[in-house]
Structure 1
Amino acid sequence: MTKLPGNAGVSLLGDKSLEFYRDPVSFCQQRIEKHRSRMFLCRLMNRPTAFICSVQGMRELLCEKSSLFLKDPTDLMTNMYGDTIVTTNGEEACLLRLSLTSHFTGSCLGSWSDYIASVCERCLKDLSVSGQPESVYTAFKSLGTELVLGLFLNVRAEKQPELFQEISQLCTQHWHGLISAPVNVKVPMWSSGFSIALDARNKLMDIIKDKLENDKEGFVGSLGSLPLPDSSSAAQHLLLFISALIPKALASLLNSFTLALGGNGQEKARRQAAEDPDYLCRVLLEVQRLWPPFIGGRRIADQDSTLMGFHVPKDFGVIYISHAVHRDPEVFQEPDAFLPERWSGRNEGHEHFLCSFGNGPRSCIGAKLTNVFLKEACVYLLNNFDWCLDPPVQNLEYKWLPVSRPANPPTVTFTQRDHTLSGRSDTS
């Protein structure tokens, strides 16, 4: 077994968490170049941690050796959401996945398609009305919020506007607890962000429990029939599914899609994506590859093991970095270039090399539903609008934690497509 390049330093003083959180992409790239390895050792969250930046290492961690590397039971996600499919390990995680999978596949996805289409039209139809630049990331977050609250909680913005706004605000407050120091402090006239998040969670749980008790329709109504571990499990999972995390991930991907296909130089690509569903799939794969909504995921070694031939001792942390994995030059030629055609050429059938939503037996249970969301929104945009950055020169750098998003939300001007002229052109 080979020793990991790099070092974990000493406790506390050697910790690199702050440097990593400031700019995880540069943090990893500098160490890949320094160690000439796409796997290296560092100290993160005051624990020796192996960083994985290659497709091979990611696949070993999440697929072949997934039973040897566990979710961290002290993770902040557990504090904020309880025991869910995302935070549990072993048999409990398997049973939860078996119970919930049917609600995210097959006929359930089909039954939601009309609602998803209606929300996309209602939220996106006015993008060109003002004639002024739109903050697309903000618009797409609103779209994502309507989708998740409507699908998972039966709360529709157009039918229950006050309840919808209340839940939206509580979800935002709860989300901020995930990015706050876990310090529960309340004093007169001030509360810590974590304390506010916990209060928001309690209020959301009251709303959710009331829904579970009284609403027998749709997703929320069907949870009562599932073989979940206890009475609180359904509520905890609903809290997870309506989290602000999902709208932010959708907004991130739709924002990246809009930028990738924006402007006159991409008009041909927009037309091809509108007319050819297979090409649209390739575009979305490339968007996901270059701009994954989540920077990666973390595990704890349950026993001594190896990854990529390197020794990983028991209790070491292991983190895979999706941004770096997706740019592994051994798998993706011209890794920094936006090339949708790669998915019908050298990388055809290689979707399993992506890890935006995890990979292997613990991958995101909602990945297929997310894909339906994205395709419906993208098809609506492509069929109804052309668009370009306005102003044409903007800072398009990304922040990568806790969800990737533009450092400065870009503004885009949309113009309504003239379907009459388009039709004449197609038949001429």
Structure 2
Amino acid sequence: MSKLPGNAGVSVLGDKSVEFYRDPVSFCRQRIEKHRSGVFQSRLLNRPTAFICSVKGTRELLCEKSNVFLKDPTDLMTNMYGDTIVTTNGEEACLLRLSLMSLFTGSCLESSNDYITSVCERCLKDLSLSVWSACVFLSGQPECVYSAFKRLGTELVLGLFLNVRAEEQPELYQEISQLCTQHWHGLISAPVNVKVPLWSSGFSTALDARDKLMDIIKDKLEHDKQGFVGSLGSLPLPDSSSASQHLLLFISALIPKALASLLTSFTLALSGNEQMRRRAMEEPDYLRRVLLEVQRLWPPFIGGRRIADQDSTLAGFDVPKGYGAIYISHAVHRDPEVFQQPDSFLPERWSGRNAGQEHFLCAFGSGPRGCIGNKLTDVFLKEACMYLLKHYDWHLDPPSQDLDYKWLPVSRPANPPTVSFTRLDQTRSDRNDTS
């Protein structure tokens, strides 16, 4: 075996966290080119860390050696969500997954379809009223496309997981939405719990929001016996707090932001391409390939981190016990050894060279610790995308715009793009009027 390329630096002074978080894509790309390797080492969060930017290394990390590379017990996610399926390790994580899996498959998944359809229709029916942009004027308030899709995701999540529907309980819905946003900001703030008169740190505000959300969640678990809440409350979970901690995870801003990221990327990828949109609308398998390619090129999250529980190897390189290991989904998805023309948007690759290789994608993890809600996310995305395809033409307006992405905390264009939507029935009517 070989030593990891690169240098882990010295404690504190050699830490590269600021450089990495400023631009993780450039950080990794420069080192991949320098070391001519999709695996290298640096110092992140003041810990020597193996960066995994290849499909082979990531498959080992997340699948073949998932019992060696564990979740970090000191991770900020544990502080914000407690002991959940995302933060635990070993047998506890396996048992939680077995208990929760039934909520995201089979009849439980099918029972969600009608609600998902109704929310997509309500949230997306008025896109053509204006130009959606960094400043789109709808009801007098400026907002961006990403924000519109995030609201769609929030309605879906709160309605499905907490039985709180925007049209039925608008005040409670708004309260929970605001608390989820405050809680999310704690995940991207320095973990410093400080309160002084007239000011609190972001992390402190997030902890307060978490406590208020937990009060709402516990009340729901006590009194709601229907839907997801009722099913979760009846599961054999480790202790009385487990159900509430998992509900906090499921209603968090993570899911709406991931959906908004992917829907924004989908909208941009098919902007102005009427032929591709029509084919995606008429051929369900082609839409599936389009969404796979969207996920490949623009994964909503940059990756995930583990800690080596013992001396091991990844992609032929030694990884000592105690090292961090972080997989970078953007780089993994563009591994030239697996994906030809890795930077090009080519949905047809998924029916050709890469057919059957969907499991190489790691936008939502992979292997035994992959996202438990993957199938539900697929249903969300397909329903929203089909609504857009059936009801709208859209194009960038103006045609030339800066679409460079920012990748943290969730991927999306750094400069909100301007997209003009036109209802298909209106387009057909205009064509008939001129014929």
Where on the TM-score scale, by shorter chain, does this alignment land: which range?
over 0.9
- Match among 379, 382, 398 for residue 389 of structure 2: 382
Structure-2 residue corresponding to 1:176: 185
**The residue matched to 2:165 in structure 1 has which SS?**
coil
Tell me by how many angstroms 1:76 deviates. Answer: 0.1
Q: Does 1:409 align with 2:416?
A: yes
Structure-2 residue corresponding to 1:259: 268
- Match among 209, 218, 229 for residue 200 of structure 1: 209
Structure-1 residue corresponding to 2:407: 400
- Match among 317, 326, 338 for residue 319 of structure 1: 326
Structure-2 residue corresponding to 1:77: 77
- Structure 1 runs (4+) greater than 6 angstroms displaced: none
- Match among 136, 142, 151 for residue 142 of structure 1: 151
Structure-1 residue corresponding to 2:128: 128
1:194-245 deviation per Cα after TM superposition (whole angstroms, max 9, x unaligned): 0000000000000000000011110011112101011100000000000001
Tell me by how many angstroms 1:405 deviates. Answer: 1.8
Superposition RMSD in Å: 1.3
Structure-2 residue corresponding to 1:48: 48
Structure-1 residue corresponding to 2:368: 361
**Cα separation, 2, equivalents of 1:390 and 1:272:** 23
**Partner amino acid for 1:374?**
L
Structure-1 residue corresponding to 2:11: 11
1:4-33 deviation per Cα after TM superposition (whole angstroms, max 9, x unaligned): 100111000000000000000000000000
CA spacing shift, 1:38–1:127, aligned 2, 3 Å: same
1:255-289 deviation per Cα after TM superposition (whole angstroms, max 9, x unaligned): 000000001xx110000000000000000000000
Segments of 5+ residues of structure 2 without an aligned counterpart are: 137-143
Structure-1 residue corresponding to 2:115: 115
1:336-388 deviation per Cα after TM superposition (whole angstroms, max 9, x unaligned): 00000000000000001100000000000001100000000000000000001
CA spacing shift, 1:160–1:299, aligned 2, 3 Å: same
**The residue matched to 1:29 in structure 2 has which SS?**
helix
**Cα separation, 1, equivalents of 2:18 and 2:129:** 43
Alignment of 1:171-250 (within 5 A): 171-250=180-259
**Cα separation, 1, equivalents of 2:396 and 2:168:** 34
Q: Is the Cα–Cα contact under 8 Å of residues 131 and 418 in structure 2 kept in the other structure?
A: no
**Partner amino acid for 2:296?**
R
Alignment of 1:160-175 (within 5 A): 160-175=169-184
**The residue matched to 2:129 in structure 1 has which SS?**
coil
**Cα separation, 2, equivalents of 1:420 and 1:159:** 34
Structure-2 residue corresponding to 1:97: 97
Q: Does 1:341 align with 2:348?
A: yes
**Cα separation, 2, equivalents of 1:390 and 1:251:** 20
Total equivalences in the alignment: 422
Structure-1 residue corresponding to 2:279: 272
**Cα separation, 1, equivalents of 2:132 and 2:49:** 47
TM-score, structure 2 as length reference: 0.95
Tell me by how many angstroms 1:420 deviates. Answer: 9.1
**Cα separation, 2, equivalents of 1:309 and 1:39:** 9
**Cα separation, 1, equivalents of 2:198 and 2:128:** 43
Segments of 5+ residues of structure 1 without an aligned counterpart are: none
**Cα separation, 2, equivalents of 1:85 and 1:219:** 17
**Which stretch of the first structure deviates more once superposed, 21-30 or 383-392?**
383-392
**Cα separation, 1, equivalents of 2:412 and 2:176:** 23
Tell me by how many angstroms 1:394 deviates. Answer: 2.1
Q: Is the Cα–Cα contact under 8 Å of residues 55 and 333 in structure 2 kept in the other structure?
A: yes
Q: Is the Cα–Cα contact under 8 Å of residues 290 and 326 in structure 1 kept in the other structure?
A: yes
Structure-1 residue corresponding to 2:140: none
Tell me by how many angstroms 1:132 deviates. Answer: 6.0
**Partner amino acid for 1:323?**
H
Q: Is the Cα–Cα contact under 8 Å of residues 8 and 49 in structure 1 kept in the other structure?
A: yes
**Cα separation, 2, equivalents of 1:9 and 1:420:** 60
1:53-79 deviation per Cα after TM superposition (whole angstroms, max 9, x unaligned): 000000011111110000000000000
TM-score, structure 1 as length reference: 0.97
CA spacing shift, 1:311–1:234, aligned 2, 3 Å: same
**Partner amino acid for 1:39?**
V
Structure-1 residue corresponding to 2:141: none
**Partner amino acid for 1:288?**
Q
Structure-1 residue corresponding to 2:339: 332
**Cα separation, 1, equivalents of 2:392 and 2:17:** 43
**The residue matched to 2:289 in structure 1 has which SS?**
helix
Q: Is the Cα–Cα contact under 8 Å of residues 137 and 410 in structure 1 kept in the other structure?
A: no
**The residue matched to 1:235 in structure 2 has which SS?**
helix
Q: Is the Cα–Cα contact under 8 Å of residues 232 and 243 in structure 2 kept in the other structure?
A: yes
